[in-house]
Amino acid sequence: MNLRTVMVIGAGQMGSGIAQVFAMAEVNVILHDQEEEAVQKGVQSIERNLDRSVSKGKISEEVKASTLGRIEVATELKKAQQADLVIEAIVESMEVKKAVFKSLDHYAPSHAVLASNTSSLSITEIASVTERPEKVIGMHFMNPVPIMKLVEIIRGLQTSDETYETIKEATEHLSKTPVEVKDFPGFVSNRVLMPMINEAIYAVYEGVASIEDVDEVMKLGMNHPMGPLTLADFIGLDTCLSIMEVLHDGFGDSKYRPCPLLKQYVQAGWYGKKVGRGFYDYSVEE
């Protein structure tokens, strides 16, 4: 497939990052969100990222300008009519994703591949609401998208070899590394990562050590670049809880039971860095 235009659904942290890397790879991008304010915030986030790269000498002002020039914004899903590939990067809710994919299936041209950036949900189930399940696939980018090299590619039950090869090539075009993963809850990345984060939260919940000390043990003892609780704040505690619930429901194994403290933080609205409070307090930062 000749990949001329990619539409990204969702202009948040992940969606704007995906839009940025495609635009930097000289692909035209339509960045979509339901509200004009949200989509403009996404563009502003991309511009800040590019400004940092310019200031560090990684890219030129010309590259920044040409990258931004390839990004068009939209608030209507019917813009998918122009896309060769649509990547959904919205809230981690099966029902919401199904509704979006049903609409995308209606609007997108018949050759277009429909991909989800879901971090844990079933690609097979998402594909079931479309008339093109063979062209539905998971394309799970890591956060922050412009920096992280991995893309998990998840094949649903009916995903075709042609669709897989298209997404593999698109991933390589972005100078990222594709890894093929089967359609199981949490795939590989979050099936391994989230129980570790959940166990770190249990260590705090049970009074084994403080938040700071749990993070320090994992950084100094396991050589992790950041502690699991800092990472949880960065991912979003609401997202962490959602993924743990998917793992618990999908496997029916008590080892995936979300820690009560994680649930309590989410109930309090302490979602992490994006709201200024999670396991750490970010309200004093810029």
* Catalytic center residues: 119, 140, 152, 190
Q: Per the annotation, does 98 bind a ligand?
A: no
Rounded Cα gap, residues 34 and 208, in angstroms:
44
Angle at 269 between CA 264 and CA 273, to 5 degrees: 110
Q: Per the annotation, does 250 bind a ligand?
A: no
Angle at 26 between CA 24 and CA 28, to 5 degrees: 100
Q: Per the annotation, does 14 bind a ligand?
A: yes
Q: Per the annotation, does 97 bind a ligand?
A: yes
| 144 cis-preceded (ω within 30 degrees of 0) | yes
Rounded Cα gap, residues 11 and 29, in angstroms:
12
- Cβ atoms within 10 Å, residue 112: 23
Q: Per the annotation, does 23 bind a ligand?
A: no
Rounded Cα gap, residues 159 and 142, in angstroms:
22
Q: Per the annotation, does 94 bind a ligand?
A: no
Q: Which of 118, 123, 160, 139 is nearest to 21 (CA)?
A: 139
Q: Per the annotation, does 222 bind a ligand?
A: no
Q: Per the annotation, does 274 bind a ligand?
A: yes
Query: What is the b/e burial string over 224-258, where b = at least 16 CB atoms within 10 angstroms of the residue's CB?
Result: eeebbbbbbbbbbbbbbbbbbbbbbebeeeeebeb
Q: Per the annotation, does 79 bind a ligand?
A: no
Q: Per the annotation, does 203 bind a ligand?
A: no
Q: Per the annotation, does 198 bind a ligand?
A: no
Q: Binding site residues for NAD(+), as ranges?
A: 10-15, 33, 92, 97, 119, 143, 274
Q: Binding site residues, as ranges?
A: 10-15, 33, 92, 97, 119, 143, 274
